[in-house]
Amino acid sequence: MSKIVILTGAGISAESGLGTFRDEGGLWAQHRIEDVATPEGFARDPDLVHEFYNAQRAQSRAANPNAAHFALAKLQKEHRGDIVLVTQNVDRLHEAAGDQDVCHMHGFLDGALCSSCDTRWPAPLVMSTTQQCPSCNAQTTRPDIVWFGEMPYHMETIYHHLSEADLFVAIGKSGNVYPAAGFVQEAVLSGADTLELNFEASATISQFAQAEFGKASEFVPTWVETILK
Ligand code: OAD
């Protein structure tokens, strides 16, 4: 397996104490997507949206990577082929475990973005509507998160990697959100083998050649050791 493309979702961070979105009692059971994760919601009530992401950012900064994050960092370091790590997660746990060049397709809680001039800079712990863009001074700063209705980041690069993949692995994601849910299909079309590692079967499970179920902190280290052998 010389080139492996790995896609991680909220399930990989669950055992680090960060809530998933669609599991029972998850974030989308507590908040309406339309209110906190759409450009329209931000236009209606930016204070509410900042409050939501400020809480997520505080939790993300307080959390520690778990055995699954560390195992993927080890794989990236020790595998003789190419490892491409794409995540739907906006936390910093892959980086905290030592992973490099993580492709955050849904943005990053630690990033701020100016919606007037597209400048990006490191987000303070607490963002608010009164903060100014360091480049154009407009008070149009927002979390650098991809909201519903917006185009995820790095798509061209991701599809390029999928076209070259020998193996595509999806870890801890429910398969409900496109375009990420369609990556398995792209990988299959490119002739890659496919594997889902999850707690429960995702919505796209039927498209994977293989699947294993359990907790990420257990199955990811085991799978990584298999690959490294
Ligand atoms: P979901 O909350 O939709 O799914 C979480 C997945 O993690 C489910 O498949 C669970 O079975 C699995 N899971 C839970 N605990 C686990 C554990 N300990 N080990 C392994 N797996 C576990 O999260 P995502 O699929 O990542 O986007 O959600 C995708 C996108 O929807 C997010 O990036 C976010 C959200 O709306 C935006 O906000 C744009």
176-208: pLDDT as tens digits: 999 999 999 999 999 999 999 999 999 999 999
Q: How many whole angstroms from its chain centre is CA 15?
A: 15
Q: In the prediction, which pLDDT does 43 show?
A: 96
Q: What is the pLDDT of residues 12-64, one digit of tens each?
A: 999 999 999 998 889 999 999 999 999 999 999 999 999 999 999 999 999 99
**Residue 143 in contact with ligand 1 by CB distance below 6 A:** no
What is the rounded CA–CA span in Å between residue 46 and residue 44?
6
**Residue 159 in contact with ligand 1 by CB distance below 6 A:** no
Q: What is the pLDDT of residues 66-109, one digit of tens each?
A: 999 999 999 999 999 999 999 999 999 999 999 989 999 999 99
Helix (H, G, I), strand (E, B) or coil at 6: strand
Q: What is the pLDDT of residues 213-229, one digit of tens each?
A: 999 999 999 999 999 99
| Smallest CA separation from ligand 1 atom 14, residue | 11
CA nearest to 112, candidates 58, 35, 50:
50
The residues, any chain, with a CB within 8 Å of residue 142's CB and separated by 6 or more, are 42, 46, 49, 112, 113, 114, 115, 127
**Residue 204 in contact with ligand 1 by CB distance below 6 A:** no
Which entry of 79, 106, 154, 161 is annotated as an active-site residue? Answer: 106
| Ligand 1 center from residue 12 Cα (angstroms) | 8
Q: Is the pTM of this model over 0.75?
A: yes
Q: Give yes or no: 69 in active site.
A: no
Q: In the prediction, which pLDDT does 1 show?
A: 65
What is the rounded CA–CA span in Å between residue 113 and residue 218?
36
Residue with tokens 């607490």: 126
Task: Give one DSSP letter per residue of 155-213, joined into a string.
Answer: HHHHHHHHHH-SEEEEES--S-STTGGGHHHHHHHTT-EEEEEESS--TTGGG-SEEEE
pLDDT bin (cut points 50, 70, 90) of residue 65 is very high
Eight-class DSSP state of 3: E
| Smallest CA separation from ligand 1 atom 6, residue | 173
Rounded average pLDDT over 113-138: 97
**Residue 152 in contact with ligand 1 by CB distance below 6 A:** no
| Tokens linked to 228 | 């490294």
What is the rounded CA–CA span in Å between residue 146 and residue 133?
18
